[in-house]
Amino acid sequence: MAPSTPDVRPIVIDTDPGVDDALALMLALRSPEVRVDLMTTVAGNVPVDQGTDNACRLLTLLNADPWPPLVRGAAHPLNQSLETATHIHGDDGLGGLTRLVQPDGTPMFPLPDHPPVGQGAAQHLIERAEAEGPALTIVALGPLTNIAQALRQAPDTMRRVGHLIIMGGAVAVPGNVTPTAEFNIYVDPEAAAIVAASGMRMTWVTLDVTRQTRLTQAFLDRHMGGQDTAQVRAIRQLTQSWFQGPPPHPGMPLHDPLAMAVAIDPEVVSCTSLPLQIETRGEHTRGMTVADRREQRHGANNAPMVDIALQVDVDRMLSLFAERVLNPQPKTGPAPKPQARVVVVGGANVDLTVQTPNLPQSGETVQGDTVHTAFGGKGANQALAAKRAGAQVAFVGKMGEDNYGQDLSRFLRQEHIDISGTRKTSEFPSGLAFITVDRHGQNLITVASGANADLKPEDLDGLASLLSLSQVLVTQLENPLATIEAALQQAKTAGLITILNPAPAQTLPARMAPLIDYLIPNEVEATLLSGQIIQTPEQAGQGARQLQQAGYRNVIITLGEQGLVYLHEDAPVHLPGLTVQAVDATAAGDTFVGYFACAIAEGQALADALAFANTAAALSVTQFGAMPSIPKRQDVFQRGQI
């Protein structure tokens, strides 16, 4: 995920996209204070499939940039059949928005082609909670089924979430489904009861305050005026049913937008901390939010204390809504593509590097400089390179339960790389790499694999959920071959583009070739795989042809300072290296692979992706160390060679 700053808070939106959910999403995506890292859908206002389609349409309408991961969640409540609110929100949940057409008959707000939609909302919520912890805010705009399922699976992890904001409940006012129950709680009271009793830090934004913040026709007309953008047309369609019929019209209550506003500007409401429980059995009170408001509470009340919004600054809320939703700065240009997402399965090491005047020969002792300690491993390096290239990245590997493993995990989290799929073991130490670098930047590397060699196929149990949101899988040969093959097979089944960097060099079984879309060896690895000596661009072209004949679709052979060779329409193409002052070539190949993976995930043409990666790799050798040498995207563009 993109780096967090004190002024930008990562949020997850759990939603059942109806009309007010749509307005809340508009508010979130137009507010610089928050960054939407994940959207999960749940059955509520509409069935979950319709709600997921609605979310795709809305993200397209709003030019979401980047497109957050979108995951389909629970299709029905925990213990009862689903009751929807299509009588309020329309059959499509969006007030008929999906039926609007252009003059030529094409849909005005179409469902995008092949939107990236994952499965298993609860697991993704847990992964976000694990990755962000106290920095994360979850805004729940629908029934609480997904949240409850996540709490059942990983209660301690979910309790690490910094803030859960819930649109739901009614404390001192009537319900809107029954005399006592608000819709979101009524649909799944068992889930709401689990969440209320969980001990998470939460704020309940109830009907007590949402009914006070109403959107009127006059307010819309005053702030949207004569605008005729796609978003304005959508807002008018979404809200029109609330203003039909004889006046006076009290206006549309901004239920979900107010909950979203609390995530953006907490001072928009005033909260009271009270014990809260959910009634799940009463004949007339099922779904009731029971807050103990007595001054003297006699007897034991074991319900956790939660913040309940009972007062709202209406003017502040409406001003925020008008500024962000009704008067947004228009975006120009085509809708952006979904964010590039890359999964890396591979090794992670702590690198111990010493610089020497020359590399030692067999039996020779050379005097070295100070030992530098840094983080590396081909998998971790490639993950960081893809991240710095601009992708959102998940790393899957194995580390020891030692200080090295703790430091590695902490570093990757600080770089905002998702390590929820990484496993820990007490049976093996974390991987270590011993690196000697000479004054010309050439190196010798010895690796003690440790836990990397213990990554088993069964350790990939969380890989499917990561693949479901990604475009590219990258892997190498620092883990057992059976595990690499299993990862490639899962990725191909999920429809991803696969990249194998066959390092450290070893032969590969022929059955793996169809699983690999891009094979990226260096000259040493290509020599082993092709059976031909490869040292020059001409030899690399011959080797690439040989490997392509062996079943590898696309072969890219990197040649260090000589650049690279690839095949275009069966003809070898040599892309020369850039002229730089080399200091340390340790992570150059990994930088190339990570940047290339990001470019392919973005949909760049092959030639452009190779130029992008070639420049990044050249810049990496000008700095000492593995991960510290990996350049950032803006530095690569500033180099002016792509």
Query: How far, in Å, CA of 336 to CA of 523, rounded?
Result: 37
Query: How far, in Å, CA of 489 to CA of 142, rounded?
Result: 36
Nearest C-alpha neighbor of 411 from the set 452, 371, 381: 381
Query: How far, in Å, CA of 122 to CA of 410, rounded?
Result: 24
Catalytic site positions: 590
Structure tokens at 478: 């620092």
Q: What are phi and psi of 171, to 5 degrees?
A: -100, -60
Angle at 22 between CA 17 and CA 27, to 5 degrees: 135
Nearest C-alpha neighbor of 561 from the set 601, 496, 617, 607: 617
CA 210, chain centre distance (Å): 30
Query: How far, in Å, CA of 502 to CA of 555, rounded?
Result: 11
Query: How far, in Å, CA of 607 to CA of 600, rounded?
Result: 10
Q: Report whether 381 contacts 408 (CB < 8 A).
A: no
Relative to beta strand 554-558, strand 564-568 is antiparallel
Rounded to a whole number, what is the distance in angstroms from the first to the last CA of the chain?
A: 25
CB 200: neighbour CB atoms within 10 A? 22
Tell me the chain's radius of gyration from C-alpha atoms: 28
Structure tokens at 219: 């307010």
Query: How far, in Å, CA of 412 to CA of 348, rounded?
Result: 10
Which residues, at least 6 apart from 408, have a Cβ–Cβ distance to it below 8 Å? 348, 350, 375, 380, 399, 430
DSSP per residue, 542-587: HHHHHHHHTT-SEEEEE-GGG-EEEEETTEEEEEPPP----S--TT
Dihedral-angle region of residue 245 (phi above 0 means left; psi in -120 to 50 means alpha; beta otherwise): left
- Residue identified by tokens 């204070």 is 33
Query: How far, in Å, CA of 261 to CA of 268, rounded?
Result: 7
Query: How far, in Å, CA of 49 to CA of 131, rounded?
Result: 27
